[in-house]
Amino acid sequence: MGDYVRQMPHQGSADLARPPSTASRLHIDIPLLLLLMALTTYGLFVLYSASGQNMGAVVRQGRYFAVGYVILILGAQVSLQRYTRWAPWLYLAGVATLVAVMFFGVGAKGAQRWLQIGGFRFQPSEIMKLVVPIAVAWYLSDRILPPRFKYVLVSLALVVVPAGLILQQPDLGTSLLIAASGLFVLFMAGIGWRYIFGAMVLAVASAWPAWMFVFKDYQKQRILTMLNPESDKLGAGWNIIQSKTAIGSGGWEGKGWMTGTQSQLDFLPESHTDFIIAVLAEEFGLRGVLFLLSLYLLILLRGFWIGLHAQTSFGRMMAGSLTLTFFVYIFVNMGMVAGLLPVVGVPLPLVSAGGTSVVTLMAGFGILMAVSTEKRMVVH
């Protein structure tokens, strides 16, 4: 059934007749790749300053990016057909590892998030950021869209099971990101607005019981700190006060690369990881922030463009979900550092130091490229 759909000709595929370019033969979306390269280069410059001119940190991050690009290219080579074929197995394996984490997981600070196999340690929840949307998109790609109520229910179940397992690790941030990535698929599939608004009303209505019964003390504390960082100046509020000071004191022009006092004199905590945007804002000013946001916006628009030109509903839904998830990273990170949102462990995508998110994000962009080049495959 899916095969049949994919063979349907699509309007706007005027370039079908043209011989495939090297890029399309390699399944590379040139504009997206260029934007990503610009972003990662910019990120490395900021990181050099944020890590206290530590070339080692830059080299390490460069290596992560290299691995990320390899994964991106490899991910782009896999046909969407294959992703759909693997989807149920990936999903079952993912859920199984999450259950395994529950029993055999290792972790730190009261959270069990990792699975240790020999000397290799990995975080199954990270993989689920891709597997969940793939599974939901796979499930819906065979249905008539917009999906009927019972398919919506099944899709929600596909989302809730892994999200619930991750929530109890506990890892609220990742759990919400995964739930969002699954829900974005449903949204792009065109579920009725009444579901969406209904869910919003439900979310607002459940805020109070959630505060009372679901949120843990440290989570409540983070929200309270966000609302009033001055209440705990030297404790939890410190990060927010210092990051706001860093951003604000950067002004329009910024204090200059490697001369931000907040970041260089260690006032800013986590300056090279989750709070790196504060370093960028302090040293490059609002100009630097605008440049970063422009890069992000172009990547997002390219993602949406790829979705609009995708050949199959699976590809479309994946493109939409991946793009929106990427946006959630940006929004949550920049919002939390600026004191708009509570502090959750979400990195600034492709700028914050760290390997895990780079791999996941690049794999996501790999799938996006697979979507963007899928149509050319139809010819062969």
Query: In what side-by-side order are the strands of the sheet with 111-117?
Result: 106-108, 111-117, 120-122
Q: Which stretch binds other proteins (CB under 8 A): 85-93, 206-214, 329-337, 345-353?
A: 329-337
Contact status, residue 129 vs residue 185, Cβ threshold 8 Å: no
Contact status, residue 314 vs residue 141, Cβ threshold 8 Å: yes
Torsion from C-alpha of 298, 303, 304, 306, nearest 10 degrees:
120
Q: Among positive and negative, which fits the CA dihedral 246, 36, 187, 210?
A: negative
| Residue indicated by tokens 């020999």 | 118
Contact status, residue 5 vs residue 145, Cβ threshold 8 Å: no
Binding to other proteins, residues 184-203 (CB under 8 A) = 187-188, 190
Q: Which is nearer to other proteins, 330 or 351 (CB)?
A: 330
The one among 245, 257, 258, 377 contacting other proteins by CB under 8 A = 245
- Residues 351 and 44: their CA atoms lie apart, in Å, by 7
- Residues 317 and 138: their CA atoms lie apart, in Å, by 9
What is the closest distance, in whole angstroms, from the C-beta atom of residue 108 to other proteins in the complex?
15
Contact status, residue 42 vs residue 351, Cβ threshold 8 Å: yes
Regarding 181 and contact with other proteins (CB under 8 A), the answer is no
Q: Which stretch binds other proteins (CB under 8 A): 75-83, 84-92, 116-124, 322-330?
A: 322-330
Q: Which is nearer to other proteins, 60 or 143 (CB)?
A: 143
Regarding 164 and contact with other proteins (CB under 8 A), the answer is no
Name the phi and psi angles at 121, rounded to 5: -125, 130
Under DSSP, the state recorded for 345 is S
What are the strands, taking DSSP E only, across the chain?
106-108, 111-117, 120-122
What is the closest distance, in whole angstroms, from the C-beta atom of residue 102 to other proteins in the complex?
29
Regarding 52 and contact with other proteins (CB under 8 A), the answer is no
- Residues 282 and 7: their CA atoms lie apart, in Å, by 52
Regarding 227 and contact with other proteins (CB under 8 A), the answer is no
Label the pairing between strands 120-122 and 106-108.
unpaired
In the stretch 115-134, what mask flags binding to other proteins with x, by CB under 8 A?
--------------------
Q: Which is nearer to other proteins, 72 or 280 (CB)?
A: 280
- Residues 246 and 243: their CA atoms lie apart, in Å, by 5
Regarding 108 and contact with other proteins (CB under 8 A), the answer is no
Q: Which is nearer to other proteins, 60 or 244 (CB)?
A: 244
Q: Which is nearer to other proteins, 21 or 53 (CB)?
A: 53
Name the phi and psi angles at 136, rounded to 5: -65, -40
Regarding 236 and contact with other proteins (CB under 8 A), the answer is no
Binding to other proteins, residues 258-317 (CB under 8 A) = 261-262, 265-267, 281, 285-286, 289-290, 293, 296-297, 300-301, 304, 307-308, 313, 316
Q: Which stretch binds other proteins (CB under 8 A): 16-24, 106-114, 161-169, 335-343?
A: 335-343
Number of residues that bind other proteins (CB under 8 A): 53
Widest Cα–Cα separation across the chain: 65
In the stretch 5-24, what mask flags binding to other proteins with x, by CB under 8 A?
x--x-x--------------
Q: Which is nearer to other proteins, 94 or 307 (CB)?
A: 307
Binding residues for other proteins, rule: CB under 8 A, are 1, 4-5, 8, 10, 144-146, 187-188, 190, 234, 242, 244-252, 261-262, 265-267, 281, 285-286, 289-290, 293, 296-297, 300-301, 304, 307-308, 313, 316, 320, 323-324, 327, 330-331, 334-335, 338-340
